[in-house]
Copies of this chain bind each other. A is one copy, B any other.
Amino acid sequence: MANIEHFRAFVLAAELGSFSAAARQMGKAQSAVSTAIANLEIDADVQLFDRSGRNPVLTAAGAALLPNARGILLGNQEFLARATSMSQGVEGHLCMAIEQGISIKPLLDLLRAFTSTFAHVSLEIVTPDPTDMAALLKQGRAELGLMIEQEGYPTGFQFRGVGYSRTVPVTAHDHPLATLAQVRHADLRKYRELVPQSRQSAETARTDRRKSPSVWYAENPMLVLELVAQGFGWAELPYSIIADRLRTGDLAQLNYAFQQSDILQGVDAVWTEQRALGVAGQWMLNKLLELPQDVWREGEQVA
């Protein structure tokens, strides 16, 4: 049956323009290459080389099939490479859960480095609702999480701060709050607050008492963004997802009277104790911890 080496013979012969040369390079007899290619031609029912001359010359069919043969060879190489990578304890897949609203821009260089360091590890990034984060990690769906820091994590979870995410209060540009030079608590309470969280997680979790009595919840920050843009109320949203619309004047940033308007929320890397991180996951975690703080302030013009 078709053997990988036979494809190698084909490709080498095509590249070198000689069966003998290919045989020498493969450390085999010339006859081996000759019959291997002949068999390939029988199996495929095409002439791969024109043998009328002293040296074989690729036919049109051979030239067209050469990339395919190379593809098979590459596939085999990758199979082996990935296998040895895994036999050395490197996992084949790493899933990172990055909470919605945390920008991946600060991570782009890191991800680039990952692809070159762990070429054989496929990377998956999921962006769950904060509520789902724990489940994802617990059931092993994701190995490593990035989320806005909480007061406490359930037992079994490890966490370390790795950076921060800037959250900014905004409204639509034509919202009454946008006209105020200083926004006081009393002003906020007059209008609807839009919270990028599911209701249930917001009620159980964290520190924050909402600032307004009228609150809408939406699971998806982008949804909240849309609602804010449509004038439904105000929200505190990650800078990364509103930067563009602040620039276009679509949205307006509020200026809090009672505190710094820019709210810096810590970003934690989270993982479970039970599931040991693989080599690639470990690497990713270390690089996250080493990340210089200034990569987190993107497009910065802090108010």
Chain B contacts for A72, CB-based, 8 A: 72, 75-76, 79
Please state the number of chain copies in the assembly.
Answer: 2
CB distance from A46 to the nearest CB of B (A): 5
Which B residues are CB-close (under 8 A) to A75?
68, 71-72, 75
Q: Is A297 an interface residue (CB 8 A)?
A: no
Q: Say whether A207 faces chain B, with CB atoms less than 8 Å apart.
A: no
Top 3 A-B pairs, shortest CB-CB distance:
A64-B92, A44-B83, A72-B75
Q: How far is the CB of A141 from chain B (nearest CB, A)?
A: 14
Indicate whether A187 reaches chain B with its CB closer than 8 angstroms: no
Residues of A within 8 A of B (CB): 1-5, 43-46, 60-61, 63-65, 68-69, 71-72, 75-76, 78-80, 82-84, 86-87, 91-93, 122
Could you give 6 example pairs across A and B, Cβ below 8 Å?
A46-B83, A46-B86, A65-B83, A71-B78, A71-B79, A72-B72
Query: Contacting A45 at CB < 8 Å: which of B45, B46, B76, B87?
Result: B87
- For A63, what are the chain B residues with a Cβ–Cβ distance below 8 Å? 92
CB of A48, distance to nearest CB on chain B (Å) = 9
A61 CB to closest chain B CB (Å) equals: 4
Determine the distance from Cα of A71 to Cα of B77 in the docked complex, in whole angstroms: 11
In the complex, what's the smallest C-beta–C-beta distance from A67 to chain B, in angstroms?
8
- Check B64–A2 contact: CB distance below 8 A: no
**Does the CB pair A68–B64 fall under 8 Å?**
no
CB contact between A92 and one of B43, B60, B78, B122 (< 8 Å): that residue: B60
**A23: shortest Cβ distance to chain B, in Å?**
16
Give the CA-CA distance A76 to B82 in the complex, in Å: 20
Is A68 touching B78 in the complex (CB atoms < 8 A)? yes
- On chain B, the residues within 8 Å of A76 by CB distance are 2, 72
List residues of chain B with CB within 8 A of the CB of A2: 3-4, 76
B1 contacts A83, C-beta separation under 8 Å: no
A97 CB to closest chain B CB, in angstroms? Answer: 18
Q: A60-B93, A68-B79 are in contact. List 12 more A-B contacts (CB 8 A).
A: A1-B4, A43-B80, A44-B84, A45-B84, A46-B84, A46-B86, A65-B92, A68-B75, A68-B78, A71-B78, A71-B79, A75-B75
